[in-house]
């Protein structure tokens, strides 16, 4: 594959002007979080306003920086800000430093832009929650951590943001943790993420061991001199980290449960931003993966498996949020797949990440709007016919639906189809396997999203008797409209113009003309055809026929998909139960075995066979005496052996 | 001010204070508490003043040195002095003592034992804690190492929980056993030393001429004592009992400071005095540490008693600390030293907050709690932060030290470092499981009326959490003090850090 890979210009120019404010991007939402969490009830009155103002302010700074970057030459668009020396021991030197470049700027705008919209929406969505202030505090904490993640200039600083978003995610999934299942879901998410973080830790250690540095500039500068084995090890460990954070196979099981969090959280963290951090990590580490083709192959395999895995689960879910979560997993699978393809896929992975950020956030918020009008019900079998009573929600969701299935002209069409094309690039078996997986995924996506859309908004009204659906207030619908506009036009703006590729090229490298295994026109036709088939199937199954209020038993595959392809059952039988058994037996062993043995030795030395447990204080003296004698004997032996 | 006997002063203030508190007339419990708190705060102030005089880059190994002949016939001197490692540990003790005194305000009110006696014991313990870290005479160190046992024995045995006698005796016997092995080794060391009136001075004990067998024997004597004190697997079983039965303040000083004498001893005495034997023992020690990291964490997951759970997490953490020390890299050893400090604060926060919880409900069992977050959000919130520091969340101080230990170990022992890194997954389970079971869900019958933190309790917790967060983002002030001392230790044991496998080109290293 002929690629001209421009080495990343991550050792950016020193920050001046507006770029010296980069730290404020993070500090503002962090300040908001601190005030709202520490301030307590005193801040209840204005908490939501302060909490919204902080990411909004960061968004403004981000926009100003973006235009400042636009005004520079493409090669000069990386700007570093050194804050202070964080950890310095021997040759292990890590600075607290930030890097604003084209890649991080994409994320800054997505996080603060979409993030601000979701904050605004939450003002309405959480209006009746007595703990709304705390909710905004956690959301601000998330925004700060996520910005640190994408602005860090070294892997270790990235790690702080990486676990920071994990903490925020934990707090928000468990926001209503008085419900035991929600508390369990929060813990599950954190632990699954920690398995990924293990990978990130080890990756960083290998970097220091092999390359003597953990900064982006240092690692990427030395990567071409490192052995392929080392780079492969680093790459695989980074992939493990990405699998945890981005809910990729085999660490995907937490994402569905994470829907326990309030819906704006699902939109912001578990759809638009945090779960895409794995994609960021892999693309940021491009120079590592470029030297590790085996690791890249594994990345592609993981992406392909997950995109199908998520899509299949999505077809069987009746809970609207869980169906969307499965879809998120699947769409991120596309991004990971693209990220594993190398320079031919990097820009499109980010492109799809951005468009997905808009349409999936929009649809989650739409689902939240539906729940808001339906007494927080989530069972789509109890929805139906909502298009007439929730016009704005319906229309914005319509655009999101068309965007994700890749309806020609809308955002998903530009971004996802590019990934399918990229998957078909190359020789041998790979384009066929991965390309066809991506192609099938597109058809299944069309099916499950159409199913979701029709079951919710069309067909007969299957509402329970106590609901009186109504449109949400403007504070919720306005963000929906803005996101819908993005869902519709962002792709058109960035895709056919080549803007996104051009913008990212200095960071992710460029590739020449690539030949696909099938002509692009054939691929586009095939994709559109499969999407049409998916829509048609869903239409015939969920609109032409009545939808029963309780799910039919279904085929074996449906039942499997409904149970998330048995991911929990597998984890339970392979990890949890053996783990519990191990823990229990170790507790027993520690009480009887280790403690018993040591007590036994003590008893032996003390010259008594009595149970240690029955010891009285009076024995201490005799023990001490006998041990003193023992010590004297030891000294004697030492003297004898020739001290 | 350089000739001012800072360290003797520091050790004498709590000693005098302890006597004064003990001498107060009966029935003046409040005065005893206030006096004890005031004295411990004076110690803290003096420690801060002394630390400001400390020059991290000084040529001399020890600063604020005081050397006076004590038993010249046997080469024993009264010798004090600190390097960066000892200084940060003394500072740890100086911070934790007033915090514990304030936290223990009502802990012993309901026992039939003397209230003032408890606070006098805490102050006496502080004297020994300062002394043991400051001693630069091996024999003096040994004396203080053993003397520490006495106040702690009474703190556990007189003021502890239902099983206090058993726990106290077990603690004492384990410690005495280790201490006697050390005594044997100390005597052995004197025999091989050059003799003279200052034979036991640390500097005079360096570079002794051993036969390999002798060096190994002496190493084992010291190391066993320190391994029991720390404690490392498999000689850890006294700790869960002692920590669970001790009153919360005592548990903090026991696990937070006293146990550090074990790992401090490994770094200060085992490695520099017996460098060859240390290298000889390294494979075994590393193996024990890695087992301890995982074993302690697994045991913590399986506990039903909150205080025992925290004790087992500490066994896991002590595995990390000793691992970093025996990795014999600057990152490992600086990380371990910082770990000792951070773990002190982190465990203190956990033990004290759990202590507050127990004082309200009267039970240590996890199963007796639930839904506390709904009724006592501050208590739950601070508990979560303390827990996150125990699982070494990046951004908190414990992450810096844990990562330094791991990365410092990795450059020499990849397999050991990778297995130990698995501990971070287990840590998330033991902390969050405990949080889930006690704090989330609906309040139960027994927790519905729990009070949130009082002002006093908030004042106890706030400084700890502030340090944990502050040092997480800016550990430099402490690392700057530790680093030169660790570099000197590395020289004494003749070790240098492994170079990166791929040579770094000039100018690209950041």
The ipTM value here is 0.93
CA-to-CA separations, B80 to A145, A562, B400, in angstroms, rounded: 46, 70, 30
> Judging by beta carbons within 10 Å of its beta carbon (0-12, 13-18, 19+), is residue A385 exposed, middle or buried?
middle
Give the pLDDT score at A87: 94
The whole-number average pLDDT for the span B459-475 is: 95
Please answer yes or no on whether B331 and A634 come within 8 Å at the CB atom: no
The whole-number average pLDDT for the span B324-332 is: 95
Q: Residue B39 and residue B21: Cα distance in Å, rounded?
A: 10
The whole-number average pLDDT for the span B83-92 is: 96
pLDDT at A618 over 70: no
Please answer yes or no on whether A88 and B192 come within 8 Å at the CB atom: no
Give the pLDDT score at A500: 86
Please give the residue of chain B at the shortest CA–CA distance from A82. Answer: B510
Assign A604 to helix, strand or coil.
Answer: helix
Please answer yes or no on whether B295 and A218 come within 8 Å at the CB atom: no
Sequential DSSP letters for B99-154: HHHHHTTTTTTTSSS-HHHHHHHHHHHHHHHHHHHHB-BHHHHHHHHHHTHHHHHH
Give the pLDDT score at B299: 93
H helix or E strand, kind and range, residue A196: helix A180-211
Partners of B305 in the β-ladder: B365
Q: For residue B100, is it within any domain?
A: no
Rounded to a whole number, what is the distance in Å from the CA of B395 to chain A's nearest CA? 6
List the Cα angle B485/B489/B491 in 5-degree steps.
115
Q: How many CA atoms lie within 13 A of A540 on its CB side?
A: 5
Q: What ranges in A458-594 are assigned the alpha helix state H?
A: 474-494, 499-508, 520-542, 556-562, 567-571, 577-589
Of residues B295, B486, B504, nearest to A213 (C-beta): B504
List the Cα angle A351/A356/A358 in 5-degree steps.
105
Partners of A98 in the β-ladder: A81, A152
The whole-number average pLDDT for the span B15-43 is: 93
Cis omega (within 30 of 0) on the bond before A13?
no
Overall size of chain A counted in residues: 643
Give the pLDDT score at A459: 85
Please answer yes or no on whether B404 and A92 come within 8 Å at the CB atom: yes
pLDDT at B159 over 80: yes
Give the pLDDT score at A71: 86
Using pLDDT thresholds of 50, 70 and 90, give the confidence band for residue A233: very high
Using pLDDT thresholds of 50, 70 and 90, give the confidence band for residue A622: low
Please answer yes or no on whether B395 and A619 come within 8 Å at the CB atom: no
CA-to-CA separations, A365 to A134, A330, A482, in angstroms, rounded: 20, 19, 12
CB count within 10 Å of CB B225 equals 29
Mind listing the pLDDT tens digit for each residue in A106-121? 999 999 999 999 999 9
**What is the phi/psi pair of residue A13, to 5°?**
-65, 155
Q: Residue A204 and residue A405: Cα distance in Å, rounded?
A: 38
Which of A166, A40, A136, A187 lies closest to B377 in space, CA to CA?
A40
Residues 416-445 (B) with a CB less than 8 A from some CB of A: 417-418, 421-422, 424-425, 428-429, 432-433, 435-436, 439-442
CB of A445 closer than 8 Å to CB of A532: no
Rounded to a whole number, what is the distance in Å from the CA of B233 to chain A's nearest CA? 9
Mind listing the pLDDT tens digit for each residue in B398-455? 999 999 999 999 999 999 999 999 999 999 999 999 999 999 999 888 888 889 999 9
Q: For residue B452, is it within any domain?
A: yes
Assign B197 to helix, strand or coil.
Answer: coil
pLDDT at A597 over 70: no
Q: Which residue has the tokens 């698995």?
A: B422
DSSP B172: H
Please answer yes or no on whether B407 and A213 come within 8 Å at the CB atom: no
The whole-number average pLDDT for the span B54-79 is: 91
> Model-level pTM?
0.92
Q: Residue A60 and residue A77: Cα distance in Å, rounded?
A: 18
DSSP A408: T
pLDDT at A1 over 80: no
Q: For residue B310, is it within any domain?
A: yes
Give the pLDDT score at A624: 60
Mind listing the pLDDT tens digit for each residue in B208-265? 888 898 899 999 999 999 999 989 988 998 999 999 999 999 999 999 999 999 999 9
Give the pLDDT score at A542: 86
Q: For residue B73, is it within any domain?
A: no
Give the pLDDT score at A616: 44
CB of A32 closer than 8 Å to CB of A98: no
Which of A326, A317, A255, A325 lies closest to A455 in space, CA to CA?
A317
Residues of B within 8 A of A194 (CB-CB) are 424-425, 428
Q: For residue B372, is it within any domain?
A: yes
Please give the residue of chain B at the shortest CA–CA distance from A628. Answer: B180
Q: For residue B231, is it within any domain?
A: no
Assign B206 to helix, strand or coil.
Answer: coil
Distance, first Cα to last Cα, chain B: 40
Mind listing the pLDDT tens digit for each residue in A485-517? 998 888 888 888 888 888 888 888 877 667 888
- pLDDT above 70 covers what percent of chain A? 90
Using pLDDT thresholds of 50, 70 and 90, give the confidence band for residue A595: low
Which of A7, A204, A21, A200 lies closest to A100 in space, CA to CA?
A21
Which pairs with CB-CB distance under 8 Å and at least 24 residues apart come from A636-642? A638/B184, A638/B188, A638/B191, A638/B214, A638/B217, A638/B218, A639/B188, A639/B191, A641/B213, A641/B214, A641/B217, A642/B211, A642/B213, A642/B214
Domain range for B312 is: 274-497
Q: For residue B223, is it within any domain?
A: no
Please answer yes or no on whether A194 and B374 come within 8 Å at the CB atom: no
Using pLDDT thresholds of 50, 70 and 90, give the confidence band for residue B28: confident
The whole-number average pLDDT for the span B82-106 is: 95
CB of A445 closer than 8 Å to CB of A311: yes
Give the pLDDT score at B406: 97
Cα of A131 vs its chain's centroid, Å: 25
Please give the residue of chain A at the shortest CA–CA distance from B441. Answer: A178
Burial code (b: 16+ CB inside 10 Å, e: under 16) for A481-494 equals: bbbbebbbbbbeeb
Q: Residue B448 and residue B369: Cα distance in Å, rounded?
A: 10
CB count within 10 Å of CB B337 equals 33
Mutate to test the interface with B, among A89, A98, A195, A225 (most CBs of B within 10 A): A89
B170/A202: higher pLDDT = A202
Using pLDDT thresholds of 50, 70 and 90, give the confidence band for residue A608: very low
CA A188, A192, A198, A201 dihedral sign is: negative
Q: Residue A507 and residue A76: Cα distance in Å, rounded?
A: 11
- pLDDT above 70 covers what percent of chain B? 98
H helix or E strand, kind and range, residue A392: helix A391-405
Assign B485 to helix, strand or coil.
Answer: helix
pLDDT at A642 over 70: no
How many folded domains does chain B comprise? Answer: 1
Using pLDDT thresholds of 50, 70 and 90, give the confidence band for residue B112: confident
Using pLDDT thresholds of 50, 70 and 90, give the confidence band for residue A16: confident
- pLDDT above 90 covers what percent of chain A? 57
Whether chain A has a CB inside 8 Å of the CB on B297: the answer is no
Mind listing the pLDDT tens digit for each residue in A428-486? 899 999 999 999 999 999 999 999 999 999 888 888 888 888 889 999 999 999 999 99
Which of A194, A168, A133, A352 lies closest to A265 in space, CA to CA?
A168
Mind listing the pLDDT tens digit for each residue in A311-369? 999 998 999 999 999 999 999 999 999 999 988 899 999 999 999 999 999 999 999 99
CB count within 10 Å of CB B189 equals 26
Give the pLDDT score at A4: 37
pLDDT at A573 over 90: no
Residues of B within 8 A of A642 (CB-CB) are 211, 213-214
DSSP B394: B
Q: Residue A331 and residue A359: Cα distance in Å, rounded?
A: 11
Please answer yes or no on whether B441 and A178 come within 8 Å at the CB atom: yes
Mind listing the pLDDT tens digit for each residue in A54-109? 999 999 999 999 999 888 888 888 888 999 999 999 999 999 999 999 999 999 99
Residues of B within 8 A of A218 (CB-CB) are 504, 508-510
Whether chain A has a CB inside 8 Å of the CB on B330: the answer is yes
Please give the residue of chain B at the shortest CA–CA distance from A596. Answer: B237
Mind listing the pLDDT tens digit for each residue in B182-202? 999 998 898 888 888 888 999
Residues of B within 8 A of A617 (CB-CB) are 157, 165, 168-169
Give the pLDDT score at A358: 93
Using pLDDT thresholds of 50, 70 and 90, give the confidence band for residue A598: low
Q: For residue B137, is it within any domain?
A: no
Residues of B within 8 A of A198 (CB-CB) are 421-422, 424-425
The whole-number average pLDDT for the span A266-274 is: 91
Q: Residue B87 and residue B482: Cα distance in Å, rounded?
A: 9
**What is the phi/psi pair of residue B186, to 5°?**
-65, -45
Q: How many CA atoms lie within 13 A of A291 on its CB side?
A: 20
């Amino acid at each position: 594959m002929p690629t001209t890979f421009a080495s990343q210009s991550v050792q950016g120019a020193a920050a001046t002007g507006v770029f010296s404010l980069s730290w404020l991007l993070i500090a503002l939402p962090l300040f908001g979080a601190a005030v709202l969490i520490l301030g307590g009830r005193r801040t209840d009155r204005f908490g939501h306003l302060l909490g919204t103002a902080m990411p909004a302010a960061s968004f403004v700074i981000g926009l100003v920086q973006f235009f400042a970057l636009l005004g520079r030459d493409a090669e000069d668009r990386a700007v570093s800000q050194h804050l202070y020396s964080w950890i310095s021991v021997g040759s292990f030197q890590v600075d607290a430093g930030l890097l604003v470049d084209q890649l991080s700027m994409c994320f800054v705008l997505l996080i603060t832009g979409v993030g601000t919209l979701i904050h605004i929406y939450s003002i309405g969505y959480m209006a009746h929650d007595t703990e709304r202030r705390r909710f905004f505090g956690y959301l601000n904490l998330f925004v700060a951590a996520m910005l640190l993640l994408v602005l860090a200039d070294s892997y270790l600083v990235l790690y702080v943001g990486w676990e920071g978003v994990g903490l925020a995610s934990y707090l928000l999934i468990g926001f209503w943790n008085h419900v035991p299942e929600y508390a369990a879901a929060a813990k599950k998410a954190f632990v699954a993420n920690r398995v990924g973080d293990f990978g990130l830790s080890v990756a960083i250690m290998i970097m220091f061991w092999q390359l003597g540095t953990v900064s982006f500039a240092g690692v990427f500068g030395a990567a071409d001199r490192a052995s392929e084995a080392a780079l492969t090890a680093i790459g695989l460990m980074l992939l493990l980290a990405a699998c945890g954070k981005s809910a990729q196979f085999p660490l995907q099981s937490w994402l569905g449960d994470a829907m326990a969090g309030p819906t704006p959280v699902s939109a912001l963290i578990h759809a638009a931003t945090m779960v895409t951090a794995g994609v960021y990590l892999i693309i940021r580490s491009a120079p590592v993966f470029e030297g590790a083709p085996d690791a890249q192959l594994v990345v592609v395999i993981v992406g392909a498996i997950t995109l199908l895995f998520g899509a299949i689960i999505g077809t069987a879910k009746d809970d609207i949020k869980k169906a969307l979560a499965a879809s998120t997993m699947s769409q991120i699978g596309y991004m990971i797949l693209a990220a594993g393809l190398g320079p031919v896929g990097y820009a499109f992975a980010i492109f799809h990440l951005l468009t997905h950020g808009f349409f999936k956030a929009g649809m989650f918020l739409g689902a939240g709007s539906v729940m808001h009008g339906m007494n927080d019900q989530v069972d789509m079998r109890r929805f139906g016919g909502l298009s007439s009573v929730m016009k704005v929600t319906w229309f914005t969701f319509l655009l999101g639906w068309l965007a994700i299935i890749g309806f020609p002209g809308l955002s998903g069409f530009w971004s996802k189809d590019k990934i399918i094309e990229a998957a078909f690039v190359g020789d041998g078996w790979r384009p066929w396997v991965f390309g066809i997986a991506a192609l099938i995924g597109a058809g299944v996506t069309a099916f499950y999203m159409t199913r979701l859309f029709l079951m919710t908004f069309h067909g007969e009204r299957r509402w329970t008797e106590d609901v009186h659906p109504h449109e949400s207030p403007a504070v919720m619908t306005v963000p929906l409209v803005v996101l819908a506009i993005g869902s519709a036009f962002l792709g058109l703006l960035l895709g056919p113009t080549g803007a996104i590729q051009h913008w990212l090229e200095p960071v992710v490298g460029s590739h020449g003309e690539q030949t696909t295994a099938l002509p692009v026109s054939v691929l586009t036709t095939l994709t559109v055809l499969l999407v049409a088939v998916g829509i048609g199937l869903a239409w015939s199954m969920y609109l032409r026929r009545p939808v029963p209020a309780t799910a039919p038993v279904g085929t074996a595959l449906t039942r499997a998909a409904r149970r998330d392809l048995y991911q929990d059952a597998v984890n339970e039988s392979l990890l949890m139960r053996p783990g519990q058994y191990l823990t229990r037996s170790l507790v027993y062993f520690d009480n009887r075995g280790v403690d018993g043995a040591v007590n036994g030795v003590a008893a032996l030395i003390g010259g008594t066979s009595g149970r240690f447990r029955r010891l009285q204080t009076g024995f201490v003296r005799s023990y001490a005496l006998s041990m003193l004698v023992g010590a004297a004997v030891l000294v004697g032996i030492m003297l004898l052996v020739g001290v | 001010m350089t000739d001012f006997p800072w360290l003797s002063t520091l050790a004498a203030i709590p000693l005098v204070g302890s006597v004064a508190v003990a001498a107060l007339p009966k029935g003046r419990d409040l005065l005893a508490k206030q006096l004890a708190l005031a004295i411990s705060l004076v110690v803290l102030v003096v420690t801060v003043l002394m630390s400001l005089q400390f020059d991290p880059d000084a040529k001399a190994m020890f600063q604020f040195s005081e050397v006076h002949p004590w038993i010249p016939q046997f080469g024993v001197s009264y010798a004090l002095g600190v390097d960066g490692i000892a200084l940060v540990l003394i500072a740890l003790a100086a911070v934790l003592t007033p915090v514990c005194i304030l936290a223990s305000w009502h802990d012993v009110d309901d026992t039939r034992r003397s209230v003032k006696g408890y606070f006098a014991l805490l102050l006496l313990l502080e004297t020994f804690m300062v002394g043991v870290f400051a001693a630069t005479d091996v024999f003096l160190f040994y004396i203080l190492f053993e003397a520490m046992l006495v106040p702690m024995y009474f703190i556990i045995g007189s003021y502890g929980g239902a099983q206090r006698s058993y726990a106290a005796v077990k603690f004492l016997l384990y410690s005495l056993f280790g201490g006697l092995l050390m005594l044997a080794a100390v005597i052995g060391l004197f025999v091989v030393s050059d003799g003279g009136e200052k034979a036991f001075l640390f500097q005079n004990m360096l570079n002794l001429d051993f036969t390999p067998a002798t060096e190994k024997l002496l190493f084992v004597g010291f190391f066993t004592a320190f391994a029991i004190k720390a404690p490392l697997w498999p000689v850890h079983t006294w700790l869960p009992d002692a920590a669970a039965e001790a009153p919360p303040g005592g548990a903090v000083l026991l696990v937070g400071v006293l146990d550090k004498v074990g790992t401090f001893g490994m770094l200060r005495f085992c490695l520099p005095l017996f460098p060859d034997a240390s290298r000889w023992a390294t494979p075994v020690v590393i193996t024990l540490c890695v087992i301890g990291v995982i074993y302690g964490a697994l045991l913590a997951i399986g506990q039903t008693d909150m205080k025992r759970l925290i004790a087992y997490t500490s066994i896991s953490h002590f595995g990390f600390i000793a691992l970093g020390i025996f990795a014999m890299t600057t990152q490992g050893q600086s990380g371990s030293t910082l770990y000792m400090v951070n773990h002190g604060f982190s465990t203190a926060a956990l033990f004290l907050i759990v202590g507050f919880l127990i004082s309200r409900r009267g039970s240590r069992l996890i199963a007796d709690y639930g839904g506390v977050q709904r009724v006592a959000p501050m208590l739950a919130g601070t508990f979560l932060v303390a827990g996150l520091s125990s699982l070494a969340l990046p951004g908190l101080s414990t992450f810096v030290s844990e990562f330094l230990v791991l990365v410092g170990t990795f450059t020499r022992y990849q397999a050991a470092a990778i297995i130990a890194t698995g501990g971070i997954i287990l840590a998330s389970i033991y902390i969050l499981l405990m949080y889930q079971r006690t704090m989330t869900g609906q309040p139960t019958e027994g927790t519905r009326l729990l009070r949130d933190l009082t002002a006093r309790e908030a004042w106890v917790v706030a400084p700890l959490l502030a340090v944990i967060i502050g040092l997480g983002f800016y550990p430099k002030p402490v690392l700057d003090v530790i680093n030169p001392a660790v570099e000197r230790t590395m020289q004494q044991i003749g070790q240098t850090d492994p170079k990166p496998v791929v040579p770094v080109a000039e100018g690209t290293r950041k």
